[in-house]
């Protein structure tokens, strides 16, 4: 049973445009959500997180939106840059304890110059 779903395995976006990566979850107990970015042959790196008490968190070009009623979150990257090309993983937990993280399968973003 996949509790965190990233239904788009890949996404291509022109440089300078907005990238929107989506994530859905089924476990209503999840209340802390994270996005990780992964380059080939490297470990994932933390990008941004959001707690369920918020519906938006922004960090520079990256914004995460949370819709608790729809059990949906999204990552917006504006403007997209070629260096953003990577695999993005959505993760969720019941509370902020890391060992509870459940990851999605990832979405491969390609930003075309």
Binding residues for another protein, per CB under 8 A?
4, 6, 34, 36, 41-46, 49, 89, 91, 96-99, 101, 103-106
Least separation in angstroms between residue 96's CB and another protein is 5
Residue (15 or 74) nearer to another protein, CB: 74
Residue (42 or 69) nearer to another protein, CB: 42
Q: Cβ–Cβ contacts within 10 Å for residue 86, how many? A: 21
Least separation in angstroms between residue 15's CB and another protein is 27
Q: Virtual CA dihedral for 19, 109, 54, 95, nearest 10 degrees?
A: 180
Distance CA 13, CA 20 (A): 9
């Amino acid at each position: 049973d996949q509790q965190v779903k990233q239904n788009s395995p890949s996404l291509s976006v022109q440089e300078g445009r907005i990238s929107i990566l989506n994530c859905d979850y089924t476990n209503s107990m999840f209340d802390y959500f994270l996005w990780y970015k992964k380059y080939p042959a490297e470990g994932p790196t933390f990008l941004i997180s959001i707690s369920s008490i918020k519906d938006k968190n922004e960090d520079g070009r990256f914004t995460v939106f949370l819709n608790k009623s729809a059990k949906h979150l999204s990552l917006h990257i504006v403007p997209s840059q070629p260096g953003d090309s990577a695999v993005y993983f959505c993760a969720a937990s019941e509370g902020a304890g890391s060992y509870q993280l459940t990851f999605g399968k990832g979405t491969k973003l390609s930003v075309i110059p």
